A and B are shown apart, each in its own frame.
Chain A
Amino acid sequence: MAAFRSTERYVASRDLEVAVNAAIALQRPLLVKGEPGTGKTVLAHEVARALGLPLIEWHIKSTTRAQHGLYEYDAVARLRDGQLGDPRVHDIANYIVRGKLWEAFESPVPVVVLIDEIDKADIEFPNDLLLELDRMQFHVYETRQTVVAKHRPVVIITSNNEKELPDAFLRRCFFHYIRFPDRETMERIVEAHYPGLRKDLVREALDVFFRIREVPGLRKKPATSELLDWLKLLMVEDLPPEALRAKEGKLIIPPLYGALLKNEQDVHLFERLAFLSRRAGA
Chain B
Amino acid sequence: MFATFILALRQAGLPVSLTEYLTLLGAMKARVAAYDLDDFYYLSRAALVKDERHLDRFDRIFGEVFRGLERPPGAPEGEIPEEWLRLVAEKVLTPEEMARIEALGGFEALMETLRRRLAEQKGRHQGGSKWIGTGGTSPFGAYGYNPEGVRIGQDGSRHRRAVKVWDRREFRDLDDDVEIGTRNMKIALRRLRRFAREGAATELDMPGTIRSTAHNAGTLDLRLVPERRNAVKVLLLLDIGGSMDDHVRISSELFSAARSEFKHLVHFYFHNCPYERLWRSNRRRRDETVPTAEVLRTYGPDYKLVLVGDASMSPYEITQVGGSVEHWNEEPGRAWLERLTGHFRRSAWLNPVPQDFWGHTPSIGMVGEIMEGRMFPLTLRGLDDMARELVR
Contact = CB atoms under 8 A, between A and B. Distances in A.
Interface of A: 14-15, 18-19, 21-23, 25-26, 28, 30-31, 33, 75-76, 79-80, 82-83, 161-163, 165, 167, 170-177, 179, 217, 219
Given A18-B42, A79-B213, A171-B19, A177 B52 contact: yes
Interface string B153-191: 000000000000000001100100000011100010000
A83 B220 contact: yes
A199 to B, nearest CB: 27
7 contacts: A22-B27, A76-B206, A167-B15, A175-B49, A176-B46, A177-B171, A217-B249
A171 B46 contact: no
Contacts of A79: 210, 213, 220
A26 B39 contact: no
Nearest to B249: A217
Contact of B43 (A18, A167, A170, A172): A18
A22 B206 contact: no
Nearest to B49: A175
Interface in B189-237: 206, 210, 213, 218-220
Contacts, number: 81
A175 B15 CA distance: 14
Main secondary structure of the interface of B (DSSP, over half): helix
A175 B49 CA distance: 7
Nearest to B183: A162
B59 to A, nearest CB: 12
Contacts of A22: 27, 30, 32-33, 43, 46-47
Interface string B11-53: 0000101011001001100111100001100110111011110
Contacts of B210: 75, 79
Nearest to A177: B52
B6 interface: no
A174 B51 contact: no
B55 interface: yes
A177 B213 CA distance: 51
A209 B375 CA distance: 41
Classify chain B's interface size.
35 or more
B83 to A, nearest CB: 14
Given A172-B19, A177-B55, A18 B33 contact: yes
A86 to B, nearest CB: 14
Interface of B: 15, 17, 19-20, 23, 26-27, 30-33, 38-39, 42-43, 45-47, 49-52, 55, 170-171, 174, 181-183, 187, 206, 210, 213, 218-220, 249
Contact of A18 (B46, B55, B174): B46
A172 B150 CA distance: 40
A38 to B, nearest CB: 12
B388 to A, nearest CB: 13
Contacts of B46: 15, 18-19, 22-23, 30, 174-176
B9 to A, nearest CB: 14
A153 to B, nearest CB: 18
A15 B55 CA distance: 13
A167 B231 CA distance: 29
A179 B171 contact: yes
B181 A33 contact: no
Given A18-B39, A179-B171, A171 B17 contact: yes
B135 to A, nearest CB: 19
Nearest to A17: B42
B50 A28 contact: no
A22 B30 CA distance: 8
Nearest to A162: B187
Contacts of B219: 83
B375 to A, nearest CB: 24
A163 B186 CA distance: 11
A171 B14 CA distance: 12
A176 B47 CA distance: 9
A172 B18 CA distance: 11
The CB with the most chain B CB atoms within 10 A, among A163, A167, A173, A177, is that of: A177
Contact of A15 (B31, B45, B182): B45
Nearest to B31: A25
Contacts of A19: 42-43, 45-46
Contact of A14 (B26, B39, B182): B39
A230 B300 CA distance: 52
